[in-house]
Chains A and B, each alone.
Chain A
Amino acid sequence: MDQFTLNLIVIGLSFALYFGIAFWARAGSTAEFYAAGQGVPPVMNGMATAADWMSAASFISMAGLIAFGGYNNSVFLMGWTGGYVLLALLLAPYLRKFGKFTVPEFVGDRFYSTSARMVAVICLLVISITYVIGQMVGVGVTFARFLEVSTTTGLLIGSAVVFAYAVFGGMKGITYTQVAQYVVLITAYTIPAIFISLNLTGQFLPQIGLVSGYAPTGGETYFLDKLDQVVTDLGFTAYTADTTNMLNMFLVTMSLMIGTAGLPHVIIRFFTVPKVSDARISAGWALVFIALLYTVAPAVGSMARLNITTTFWPGAIDGETFSKPALSLAEIDSNPDLAWIRNWEKTGLLTFSDKNGDGLIQYFNEPKPVTDANAAVAAATKALTDAAADADKAPLEAAVAEATTARDAVLAEAQLGGQSLAAQGIVGNELTTVNNDIMVLANPEIAALPGWVIALVAAGGLAAALSTAAGLLLAISSAISHDLIKGALNPNISEKGELLAARISMAFAIVLATWLGYNPPGFAAQVVALAFGLAAATIFPVLMMGIFSTRVGKEGAIAGMLVGLITTSVYIFLFLGWFFIPGTNVYPNTADAHWFGISPAAFGPIGAVLNIATAYIVSMMTKAPPQEVQDLIQSIRVPKGAGKATAH
Chain B
Amino acid sequence: MADKTSANAYWAANIKVITISMIIWFACSFGLGILLRPALSGIHIGGADLGFWFAQNGSIFVFLILIFVYAKIMNGIDRAHGVEE
A85 in contact with B34 given A211-B45, A275-B85, A639-B85 (CB within 8 Å): no
Tell whether B43 is near chain A: CB-to-CB under 8 Å: no
Cα–Cα, bound, A353→B45 (Å) = 41
Docked-complex contact B47 and A88, CB < 8 angstroms: no
Cβ contacts A261-280/B at 8 Å (1 or 0 each): 00000000000000111001
Name the distance in Å between A89's Cβ and chain B's nearest Cβ. Answer: 5
**Contact of A298 with B56 in the complex, beta carbons under 8 Å:** yes
Check B56–A89 contact: CB distance below 8 A. Answer: no
Instruction: Let me know if A90 and B63 touch, CB within 8 A.
Output: no
Establish whether residues A639 and B33, one from each chain, have CB atoms under 8 Å apart when the complex forms: no
Task: Give the Cβ gap from B74 to chain A, nearest Cβ, in Å.
Answer: 6
> Does A620 belong to the interface (CB within 8 Å)?
no
Query: Closest residue of chain B to A276, judged by CB?
Result: B85
Residues on A with beta carbons closer than 8 Å to the beta carbon of B61:
291, 295
* Distance in Å: Cβ of A617 to nearest Cβ of chain B: 23
B85 lies within 8 A of A277 (CB): yes
| Residues of chain A with a CB closer than 8 A to B37's CB | 242
> Given A71-B52, A224-B47, A638-B10, are A281 and B84 also a contact pair (CB < 8 Å)?
no
Q: Please provide the chain B residues from 28 to 76 with a CB less than 8 Å away from any CB of chain A in the complex.
A: 29-30, 33-35, 37-38, 45-49, 52-53, 55-57, 59-61, 63-64, 66-68, 70-71, 74-75
Confirm or deny: A40 has a beta carbon within 8 angstroms of a beta carbon on chain B: no
Q: Are A284 and B64 in contact (CB under 8 A)?
A: yes
Residues of chain A contacted by B33 (CB below 8 angstroms): 74, 78
Residues of B within 8 A of A89 (CB): 18, 21-22, 67, 70
A84 with B74: in contact, given A78-B29, A211-B48, A211-B53 (CB under 8 Å)?
A: no
Contacts of A281 in B (CB 8 A): 67-68, 71
Min C-beta distance of A481 to chain B, whole Å: 29
Contact mask for chain A residues 53-89; partner B; CB cutoff 8 A; 1 contact, 0 none: 0000000000000100001001001100110111011
Interface of chain A, main secondary structure: helix
Cα distance A89–B10 in the bound complex, in angstroms: 15
B60 → chain A, closest Cβ, in Å? 5
A85 to B59, CA, bound (A): 11
Bound CA span A298–B59, Å? 13
Interface presence of A225 (CB below 8 A): yes
- Selected from A66, A85, A210, the residue in CB contact (under 8 A) with B21 is A85
Q: Hey, what's the 0/1 contact readout for B7-27 against A, CB within 8 Å counting as 1?
A: 100110010001001100100
Cα A240 to Cα B84 with chains together (Å)? 47
A71–B56 Cα distance when bound, in Å, is 8
Enumerate chain A residues within 8 angstroms of B60, measured Cβ to Cβ.
Answer: 77-78, 81, 287, 291, 294-295
Closest B residue to A250 using CB positions: B34
Say if the beta carbon of A246 comes within 8 Å of chain B: yes
- Taking CB atoms, residues of chain A closer than 8 Å to B83 are 638-640
In the complex, what residues of B have CB within 8 A of residue A253's CB? 29-30, 34
CB neighbours of B10 from chain A (8 A) = 637-638
**CB atoms of B47 and A280 under 8 A apart:** no
A478 to B53 Cα, complex, angstroms: 41
Contact of B66 among A85, A223, A640, A641 (CB under 8 A): A85
Q: Roughly how many angstroms separate A586 CA and B74 CA in the complex, as a whole number?
A: 50
Chain A residue nearest to B46 (CB atoms) is A211
In the assembled complex, the Cα of A294 lies from the Cα of B57 at a distance in Å of: 8
B32 to chain A, nearest CB (A): 11
Contact check, A640 vs B11: say whether CB atoms are below 8 A apart. Answer: no
Q: Contact: B78 with A277, CB < 8 Å?
A: yes
Judge whether A634 is part of the interface by a CB distance below 8 angstroms.
yes
| A283 close to chain B: CB less than 8 A | yes
Q: Which residues of B contact A249 (CB under 8 A)?
A: 34
Determine the residue in chain B with the shortest Cβ distance to A211. Answer: B46
Choose one: B47, B55, B59, B67; the contact of A211 (CB below 8 Å): B47
Q: Is the CB of B64 within 8 A of A277?
A: no
Taking the closest CB of chain B, its distance from the CB of A281, in whole angstroms, is 5
Residues in A with CB closer than 8 Å to B7 are 634, 637-638
Q: How far is the CA of A277 from the CA of B84 in the complex (A)?
A: 8
Q: In chain A, what residue has the closest Cβ to B57?
A: A295
State whether B22 touches A250 (Cβ < 8 A).
no
A288 contacts the other chain (Cβ, under 8 Å)? yes
- Note all chain B residues with C-beta closer than 8 A to A208: 46
The CA of A291 and the CA of B62, in the complex, are separated in Å by 11
* Distance A224 CA – B46 CA, assembled complex (angstroms): 10
By a CB distance below 8 angstroms, the chain B residues around A211 are 45-48, 53
Q: Are the CB atoms of B57 and A298 closer together than 8 Å? A: yes
| Inter-chain contact A88/B67, CB cutoff 8 Å | yes
A93-B74, A223-B47 known, 19 other contacts, Cβ within 8 Å: A66-B56, A77-B55, A77-B60, A78-B60, A84-B63, A89-B22, A210-B56, A211-B45, A211-B47, A213-B47, A246-B34, A280-B71, A281-B67, A288-B64, A291-B63, A295-B57, A295-B60, A298-B57, A640-B82
B binding-site residues for A, Cβ under 8 Å:
7, 10-11, 14, 18, 21-22, 25, 29-30, 33-35, 37-38, 45-49, 52-53, 55-57, 59-61, 63-64, 66-68, 70-71, 74-75, 78, 82-85
> 13 A-B contacts, Cβ less than 8 Å apart?
A89-B18, A207-B57, A225-B47, A246-B34, A246-B35, A250-B34, A280-B74, A283-B67, A284-B71, A287-B60, A287-B64, A291-B64, A295-B60
